[in-house]
Structure 1
């Protein structure tokens, strides 16, 4: 065979190889979230702006892996995230809905801390943990209550101690939290400290109003949040039960919507502790039925919360949960928020599916279960993924290794959520969106992913269909305004977007 023929054959073989390689790469990327979206000409131009920032940041991280923000603990990466042009872009982007966060950890840390300057706030330290409560006068008892104002003036280091009690932020999380047990203990203790502060009725309503405001400022138009319906109190001793607390939420929401008519609303998921006995869950069922009957537009459904590895699994409460399911109550179960496989925590996924859950909170262990993955995709059960929460609560160190990377790149029904931003110094949704976009997505993941995540957040909400259509129409208007402003090179203010 002549050298010319051999060269020709090699050239053809080489061409076939590169053609097949391109097909394989394209086929693989065609499964990712947003891959089916065809960008308009305007969106393509905005995408160039976004990707110019992303590729530089991504490739700089590839050159110096220690600088890649999703691989760094959030306590140490936060300032870098805030300086990122990609984060700035995401912060200004209309993100739709926030679908997984908890009642007493919703606001920014700064706002939470500033609440401690309210009048009549007392503090007391029990076993090195600060308790907070509002009283109209000094109260005696097991706790030596002192005005927080006096504690500040008497001790120059009190404020530092106070701040340490309102979050789980530490300088060296690896040393401070050697295992999930230590970080969860601190996490739950923080809820205990915050509880008395935010359940004073005026603070409770101001707190919820501020939560909605911070979401709106982050270009979020709708909220579904989980809560315990804690007893709320007045200075004069008056208290509000679960019905009264729900009315306070609704009253505050209605006022917020009057002040900001472009906000599309909020719904509540009753989510009490899972670490209880069956009789208590029977009480939960009764409360949920009462709430649904009285506030059908505001009550979205039911969940059980708390550290899954140390709480009761769903299987312990099947009769009660089946009874609740018969009332058409929607479920939003936390499931498989764990590194373990085959444990009761991990098996919560199976019971959540069998109980026809509407969404799954976290679902961190789902990639270990092919049949559950199949059912989630077939039934369109959204997975609520909270990157920062999963990192700081020690399920994963490097977010490039988070199961969300597989789920995002395989096109599963995913929404990105914020869980408990107060306690780790985040705010609303943008920090989690940034880490998902940079840490989960491919290097080539682009505006299409962000657009689909926003659409997912609205599609997988429990808004009524006509309400959802209205929200989607409003979002489309916001999206077009956002694109125009990016192309104009102007500074984007929340009022321009919303």
Structure 2
């Protein structure tokens, strides 16, 4: 067929070229990759190739046990400590990430920081259903609560034989008096951390189905929630979320806040703090952090934040009306903060969107009457299913006019829906590490993200629940995406970051200003890269 191999290779080169013209890095925002960017891209590719051999390849110099097979984009929790020592991760940590459009507030602050915040407050107590021992500690979850001063007790330990099950112990005291044979205060910290994070053993061995891992996942929120939903902690928590995001190169945040609890606890341990008060505090802290950045001459590094009002898919449809009305009230009071509405939770196990069609359609009509706009930004298709309720949520999300799709893992099975997303600019909030740990894929090379991108579906890289998964910020997700391809490069990462503003809830003028600010950070990043690696051939 091809007697002349020269002709064959010419045809081959043409086919590869035509195919790669469909990729994101061939559709750059500024149409031209300048010399500095080109050099930086080649540099990053050289580092990736070098580390693929020396760290992830058969000639790896990394010591691991015999059961661990190293490869780029492998199971995150197994690879995390290795990742943090790579040059490529150092580079991704400095990369300006743009907008984070999918994260749940109650899982965005490092667990160690959360514990430190909680220990500041004597009102916070802990209890267990039985005495903690070496045999029981692995199966018992702590329960936390901020108590009224009149409810404080003199109990001193959850590990003492004299402990009465269910008795509240001050958090500081429980930590201080934790049995030395269980590790003392450090053992207490380890016990708490294991309760509100997912370990490698849980992710890859003991919880080996999506149902099992979701049970563990949901339990982390039940445990951590009462620590966070105490106003003095919550305020410091929000501030830490902003600051740690900025430190990771994220300049704009759209965060989902779960409003399932109608009130949270105030300083006195009373459950009377309303959602309106909560958003007022969020707004105040946001403005304070922006002012801090301005005073430091770093205002270009942080544009701001908005909130996606969320509640959980297990509530009855008639009860949803309360939350929809609450969302409208908050939008009227904080029009600059409320960016959208979502229903969250395990799609495979909880109610499909079709259960809520009546209140959701009434919600849209009510907005028209009031002259306000609260777009839907639905989770949909976070499933391995094909034709299941969870998979079919994609149809309903699109028919209901969703602005973006959270996860959209099964979208790749639906050519028509992908076409609609591409033509309508419906971005998919892709959470690579979350999808892997929650057992939708075993590794990044198997993730459908490249197929979505290369078919022209808009995407935004997101972290989802970094405090639970250990992928704080966005650097780890960018790293995993970058190492899982030999075609994508730094320009691809640039496009993912820069385009994220396009799919945000900022208005057009705000988007333009955000991109201009990001462009300044990108130039600083390129300068840093050139200074940091002057001797490396690019």
Per the normalisation by structure 2, the TM-score is: 0.85
Correspondence list, 1:235-250, <5 A: 235-236=267-268, 237=270, 239-250=272-283
CA contact (8 A) 1:100 1:417 kept: yes
CA contact (8 A) 1:204 1:232 kept: no
- SS of the equivalent of 2:144 reads strand
Q: Select 2:526's aligned residue among 476, 483, 495.
A: 483
Per-residue CA deviations over 1:340-361 (Å, capped at 9, x if unaligned) read 1101100000001111111000
Alpha-carbon distance in 2 for matches of 1:467, 1:189 = 38
Aligned to 1:124: 127
Alpha-carbon distance in 2 for matches of 1:416, 1:115 = 29
Q: CA RMSD in A?
A: 2.0
Aligned to 2:88: 86
- SS of the equivalent of 2:50 reads helix
Alpha-carbon distance in 2 for matches of 1:490, 1:256 = 33
Residue 448 of structure 1 deviates from its aligned partner by: 1.5
CA contact (8 A) 2:428 2:459 kept: yes
Q: Select 2:45's aligned residue among 44, 51, 64.
A: 51
Residue 115 of structure 1 deviates from its aligned partner by: 2.7
Does 128-137 or 55-64 show the bigger shift? Answer: 55-64
CA contact (8 A) 1:58 1:443 kept: no
Q: Select 2:352's aligned residue among 305, 310, 313.
A: 313
Aligned to 1:463: 506
Q: Select 1:415's aligned residue among 453, 460, 465.
A: 460
Alpha-carbon distance in 2 for matches of 1:126, 1:470 = 53
1:166 aligned onto 2:160? no
- SS of the equivalent of 1:226 reads strand
Residue 103 of structure 1 deviates from its aligned partner by: 1.4
Aligned to 1:218: 248
Correspondence list, 1:9-408, <5 A: 10=3, 13-37=4-28, 38-59=32-53, 61=56, 63=58, 66-71=69-74, 73-120=75-122, 121-126=124-129, 128-135=140-147, 137=149, 138-139=151-152, 143-154=166-177, 155-156=179-180, 157=182, 158-171=188-201, 173-229=203-259, 230=261, 231-236=263-268, 237=270, 239-261=272-294, 262=299, 263-326=302-365, 327=367, 328-408=373-453
Per-residue CA deviations over 1:412-453 (Å, capped at 9, x if unaligned) read 2111000000012221111111111222xx302112201110
Per-residue CA deviations over 1:142-191 (Å, capped at 9, x if unaligned) read 94100122222322333332221121224453222121112111111110
Would the alpha carbon gap of residues 80 and 95 (structure 1) be closer, same or farther in structure 2, given more than 3 Å must change? same
Would the alpha carbon gap of residues 402 and 125 (structure 1) be closer, same or farther in structure 2, given more than 3 Å must change? same
For structure 1, the 5+ residue unaligned runs are 1-8, 492-498
Alpha-carbon distance in 2 for matches of 1:39, 1:63 = 34
Per-residue CA deviations over 1:243-295 (Å, capped at 9, x if unaligned) read 11111211111111111131211000001011111111111221121111111
Residue 92 of structure 1 deviates from its aligned partner by: 0.2
Aligned to 1:5: none
CA contact (8 A) 2:128 2:165 kept: no
- SS of the equivalent of 1:207 reads helix
Q: How many corresponding residue pairs?
A: 478
Alpha-carbon distance in 1 for matches of 2:454, 2:483 = 13
Does 369-378 or 35-44 show the bigger shift? Answer: 35-44
CA contact (8 A) 1:166 1:190 kept: yes
- SS of the equivalent of 1:345 reads helix
CA contact (8 A) 2:152 2:170 kept: no
Alpha-carbon distance in 2 for matches of 1:335, 1:183 = 19
For structure 2, the 5+ residue unaligned runs are 60-67, 131-139, 154-163, 183-187, 368-372
Alpha-carbon distance in 2 for matches of 1:490, 1:107 = 32
